[in-house]
Amino acid sequence: MGKLVQDDGRWLPDELWERMEPLLPERPPHPLGCHNPRVPDRAAMDAIFFILRTGSQWQALRATGICSPSSAYRRFREWAEARVFEEFWRQGLLAYEDVTGID
C-alpha cells in the first residue's frame, strides 16, 4: 500500500493543534544525550488521533506515512502519563459549558 500524498481531512485542524500544543510536556532528555531526531509533536498527535478515530491497529500507521507506529505509541504513552488528553478533555468541557451549558 502506498503512502498518502494529499491531505484528506484526517489531520488535526490548526485551531485544535493550537489549543493542544501548550498542554504537551517538555521533551524528556535522552539518557545517553544522543539519539535520532524526534518525530515532530504534531505528526505524533496526528497519528494518535488517526488511530483513535479509525480504531486501526498501531501498525496500520506504516501505510499512512504520518509517523512510525513505535514513535506514535511511545508518544501516546508519554502524553497519557502526563495527563495531556485528560486536560484537553477538561478544557473542552469548560468551553462547551461557556457556549452551550452542561446539564
- Convert the pLDDT of each residue in 14-27 to its tens digit: 888 999 999 999 98
Structure confidence at residue 89 as a pLDDT band (50, 70, 90): very high
Give residue 98's pLDDT.
82
Long-range contacts of residues 75-81, Cβ cutoff 8 Å, at least 24 apart? 75/39, 75/41, 75/44, 75/45, 75/48, 76/44, 76/48, 76/51, 78/25, 78/28, 79/24, 79/25, 79/48
- Convert the pLDDT of each residue in 36-85 to its tens digit: 788 999 999 999 999 999 999 999 999 988 999 999 999 999 999 999 99
Which cell goes with 83?
495527563
Structure confidence at residue 13 as a pLDDT band (50, 70, 90): confident
Which residues, 6 or more positions from 11, have their beta carbon under 8 angstroms from its beta carbon?
46
H helix runs in 8-103, sequence order? 14-20, 41-54, 69-81, 84-99
